[in-house]
Amino acid sequence: SYDQHNKDADRIYRLVFENYLGQGKFATTPLPVGPAIKEDLPEVAGMTRIAQGLKTLTRFENNRFFETLTFVDTDLAEVFTLDFLQSDPQTALNEPNSLLISESYAKKYFGDTDPIGKTLEIGTSGALNSTVTGVFEDLPENATVQFNLALPFSTFEKVYGPADLWQQMPGNYTYIRLADQSSLTALNEKLPAFTESHMADQMEDWRQNYQLSVQPLLNIHLHSDYGRESSNGNVKTLYLLAMIAFLVLIIAVINYVNYSTARFSQRAREVSIRKVVGAGRKSLVIQFIGEALLTTTLAGIVAVMLAQGVLPGFNLISGKTFSPADLYQPWFFAAALGTVLLVGLAAGAFPAFFLSGFHPMDAIKGKFREMSMAGFSRKGLVVAQFTASVTLVVATMIVWRQMDFVRSQIRPESSEQVAVFQVNGKLSEQFSTLQQELMQIAGVEAVAGGSNIATFTGDSWPVTRQANGPRVQTENYAIQGDFVSTMGYELIAGRNLDPNLQSDIDGAYILNETAVKSLGFASPQAALEEQLLFGGDELKKGTIVGVIRDFHFASFHEKVEPALLQFAPYDWMRSQFVAVRFQPERVTQLREAVSEIVNSLAPNWHAELHYLDENFMQLHEKDVQQGRIFGAFALLAIFISCLGLIGLVTFAAERRAKEIGIRKVLGASVASIFKLLSSDFLRLVFIAFLIAVPISWYAMNNWLEGFTYRIDISAGVYIWAGIGALGIALFAMSWQSLKAALANPVESLRSE
DSSP 236-303: HHHHHHHHHHHHHHHHHHHHHHHHHHHTHHHHHHHHHHHHHTT--HHHHHHHHHHHHHHHHHHHHHHH
* CA distance to 177, 461, 506, 641, per residue, from 228 (Å): 22, 15, 31, 43
Confidence tier at 204 by pLDDT (50, 70, 90): low
Number of residues assigned to the chain? 752
pLDDT tens digit sequence for 559-592 = 888 999 999 876 666 778 899 999 888 888 898 9
Please list, residue by residue across 155-180, b when 16 or more beta carbons sit within 10 angstroms of its beta carbon and e when fewer do: bbeebbeebeebbbbbbbbbbbbbee
Lowest mean pLDDT among 74-88, 371-385, 539-553, 652-666: 371-385
Question: Percent of the chain at pLDDT above 90?
Answer: 27
Give the CB-side neighbour count of residue 178, counting CA atoms within 13 A. 21
> Under a CB-based contact definition with an 8 Å cutoff, are residues 606 and 591 in contact?
no
pTM of this prediction exceeds 0.85? no
pLDDT at 554: 76
CA distance linking residue 409 with residue 416, whole number of Å: 14
CB within 8 Å of 168: residues ≥ 6 apart: 30, 31, 459, 460, 461, 536
Element (H, E) at 176: strand 172-178
CA 180, 186, 191, 196 dihedral sign is negative
- Once rounded to an integer, what is the mean pLDDT over residues 38-58? 88
Q: Is the pLDDT of residue 139 over 90?
A: yes
Is 527's pLDDT higher than 90?
Answer: yes
Residue by residue, DSSP assigns 647-670 as: HHHHHHHHHTHHHHHHHHHTT--H
Which stretch of DSSP H or E encloses residue 40? helix 33-40
The answer to whether 460 and 169 have CB atoms below 8 angstroms apart is yes
SS3 state of residue 163: coil
CA 237-240-246 angle, 5° bins: 140
Q: What whole-number distance in Å separates Cα of residue 529 and Cα of residue 465?
A: 12
Instruction: State how far Cα 419 lies from the chain centre.
Output: 24
Residue 207's pLDDT band (boundaries 50, 70, 90)? Answer: very low
What are the tens digits of pLDDT across the range 712-746? 998 999 999 889 888 888 888 887 778 777 777 76
pLDDT of 661 > 90? The answer is no
pLDDT of residue 413: 46
User: What pLDDT is recorded for position 215?
Assistant: 92
Look at residue 350 and tell me whether its pLDDT is greater than 80: no
Q: Does the structure show a pLDDT above 80 at 164? A: no
Q: Which of 11, 36, 28, 106 is nearest to 67 (CA)?
A: 106
What whole-number distance in Å separates Cα of residue 312 and Cα of residue 365? 56
- Between 211-220, 285-294, 413-422, the lowest mean confidence (pLDDT) is in 413-422
